[in-house]
Structure 1
């Protein structure tokens, strides 16, 4: 077998590759960061951060760079790959996210927060900030997590069923406008999303303290991902997954129907004060 040809020594990781492409294109033109800022716009410090991998920047600046360098949509394509790159997330989530992207159906139980796939921008931002993220790291994580919602969009989107504890609706955001937007988002009809609310009156059950996501894969297997405040675990052993599924089925039997659940969320929405008009 002939030796594999190494075409380039550049990284195969989308985020690093994006930074390398930016640096290569600029240096091949013999430009400094200040030179680039003068002809394209934006602050030279932004281009420096992008080339060091500190930030991805926004689509507008990436499109402007593509236009200046005459690279068509090349940089924008690499930027989109970098934005969706699962390596932006912690190690424990990476394999799970790759499997999530391949899943043909998903079902979920939420303890105290809306499922990530149904979180609005405002919810994601406040939740991550509450966890201590700030500045560029916060912006990058918001971008990455919000982008996950695309999994449920389009004609080929997988069906997704979620059972949310009433605690999800009681744990409000400090930003009341963002909280109203989140509740409204949960009431909006989507053909592939089936939401249920599990009221407190249902009592204790087998998943009381455990966020759980099940993924049905194209090969017929089902895997589960469980998460609490301190750790997450991807479960692939058939016996353990089946035990969790039985617990989930029991929880779903206790939950309100989708129509009842929507009415429940709308009643909660009435309790959130509207901001006074200005």
Structure 2
């Protein structure tokens, strides 16, 4: 499969959100977000303060309040109790669950095959040496990625792609979740992409994601004398009952790989890169050190 991947997709996901059956859902999410914002402001809390109390980042709270990120039922119940909403938000969780089932993200034709497979994956492995994998990107980082694309996207296209990317991240919180591992080049994390504030938010997000039980993040150090990933980024995915597959995106070309020998070579390469990278604990400490230096 070949096509025109979006800038910095990091395993694809640059599609636009479909309009069929989604407007009512978006309106609902925006309405719930306004209710959360009103309750938060009434309680005298900033987005950062609310996030700290419920285990969310400031940007995540902002995304939920603007209707960009799906408000999860557990989040709504917790916020309802914390902000003394009298059950208003907890009841809305039922409507949100029904709306989630109706909401679809429509990807470009070149990406749809992979998107359908990814949604079924029980295991995902990423090697990223250009940008943070799309599955882990914050809203601001994703917007910077799409804004830097050449040729340029217009503002509407950027917003559509950011929304689609955030929707894709629900893969991390579904049940049961897929097993996810990622190896990220150190230089990617040190680059102040979008500015220092966005870099800090992205690193903070990676620290939180790395602590999820089903996610492992490793950093390939710049000073490593060995590097089996010089051929560029790639993704491995596995669906229950089917052979492992791979996906490539580079310089306006995308390809879904199903040939067993080609997939075997990439899987072996991933194993080598993983052995050359820092351990998960070492990687977490390095990211935390980067945060302390900002």
Query: CA separation of 1:229/1:170 partners in 2, compared to 1, >3 Å: closer, same or farther?
Result: farther
Give the conservation status (yes or no) of the 8 Å contact 1:108–1:212: yes
Aligned Cα root-mean-square deviation (Å): 2.9
Given the alignment of the two structures, is residue 184 of structure 1 paired with residue 211 of structure 2, yes or no? no
Q: Give the unaligned 5+ runs of structure 1.
A: 1-13, 20-49, 64-72, 273-278
Given the alignment of the two structures, is residue 137 of structure 1 paired with residue 134 of structure 2, yes or no? no
Runs of 4+ in 1 over 4 A off after TM superposition: 73-80
Given the alignment of the two structures, is residue 232 of structure 1 paired with residue 232 of structure 2, yes or no? no
What is the match of residue 5 of structure 1?
Answer: none
Q: Give the unaligned 5+ runs of structure 2.
A: 1-16, 34-93
TM-score under structure 2 normalisation? 0.65
Give the conservation status (yes or no) of the 8 Å contact 1:62–1:76: no
Given the alignment of the two structures, is residue 208 of structure 1 paired with residue 178 of structure 2, yes or no? no
Measured after TM superposition, the shift of residue 117 of structure 1 is: 0.8
Deviations 1:101-121 (A, max 9, x none): 001111110112111111111
Give the conservation status (yes or no) of the 8 Å contact 2:132–2:188: yes
Distance 2:217 2:240 in 1: 23
Query: CA separation of 1:77/1:16 partners in 2, compared to 1, >3 Å: closer, same or farther?
Result: farther
The counterpart of 2:18, out of the listed 15, 20, 25, is 15
TM-score under structure 1 normalisation? 0.69
Distance 1:182 1:115 in 2: 11
Deviations 1:74-118 (A, max 9, x none): 999568644x32x3x322211101100001111110112111111
Query: CA separation of 1:147/1:265 partners in 2, compared to 1, >3 Å: closer, same or farther?
Result: same
Give the conservation status (yes or no) of the 8 Å contact 2:146–2:153: yes
The counterpart of 2:265, out of the listed 243, 248, 254, is 243
The counterpart of 2:137, out of the listed 119, 122, 130, is 119
* 1:26-41 correspondence to structure 2 within 5 Å: none
| Relative contact order higher in (CA < 8 Å, ≥ 6 apart) | 2
Measured after TM superposition, the shift of residue 123 of structure 1 is: 0.7
State how many pairs are aligned. Answer: 215
The counterpart of 1:263, out of the listed 262, 270, 285, is 285
Query: CA separation of 1:18/1:198 partners in 2, compared to 1, >3 Å: closer, same or farther?
Result: same
Given the alignment of the two structures, is residue 109 of structure 1 paired with residue 109 of structure 2, yes or no? no
Query: CA separation of 1:264/1:75 partners in 2, compared to 1, >3 Å: closer, same or farther?
Result: closer
Deviations 1:178-228 (A, max 9, x none): 211100111121111000001122245332242111111111410000121
The counterpart of 1:170, out of the listed 176, 190, 197, is 190
What is the match of residue 117 of structure 2?
Answer: 99
Give the conservation status (yes or no) of the 8 Å contact 1:111–1:209: no
Q: Which has the larger radius of gyration?
A: 1
Distance 1:183 1:15 in 2: 30
